[in-house]
Amino acid sequence: MIATGTPTEKNREVLSNLQHYSYKQLYGCCVKAIDNCSKENMTILKRVFIKGDKNFVIQMSLNISSAEYGRQKRKALLEFADRLFGESSQINREHPIDLRIYGDSE
């Protein structure tokens, strides 16, 4: 899949659903989603998105290869997407935030 900068149907759906949340609700959902991830995934997510650490710094501190870090980060992002869906569903069942990927439809 090539990134074109053109919104996909999934992007439009996510953006539309975000309009149903206040910033406080979005922040709360994201924090809870990260905090409910496994310890390994939570560490990566907090360092990337809260502390703002660069990927190579995190990789080096974990003492793993670039390829292994990529696998672990993707796993962390997938778990975050699942947890965020669950957290947001508790606030708004009609418009949950669904960042999960269901297949390459493009």
For residue 47, what is the domain's CATH number? 1.10.10
Note down the domain range covering 49. Answer: 9-91
User: pLDDT tens digit string along 6-50?
Assistant: 556 666 766 666 777 788 998 999 999 999 999 999 999 999 999
Half-sphere exposure of 87 (CA within 13 A, CB side): 21
User: Is residue 101 domain-resident?
Assistant: no
User: Is residue 20 domain-resident?
Assistant: yes
User: pLDDT tens digit string along 78-106?
Assistant: 999 999 999 999 988 888 888 887 665 44
User: Is residue 24 domain-resident?
Assistant: yes
User: Is residue 30 domain-resident?
Assistant: yes
pLDDT band at 67 (very low <50, low <70, confident <90, very high): very high
Q: How many independent structural domains does the chain possess?
A: 1
User: Is residue 106 domain-resident?
Assistant: no
pTM beyond cutoff 0.75: yes
Radius of gyration of the chain, Cα coordinates, nearest whole angstrom: 15
Collect contacts of 102-106 with beta carbons under 8 A, ≥24 apart.
Answer: 104/1, 105/10, 106/1, 106/8
pLDDT for the residue numbered 69: 97
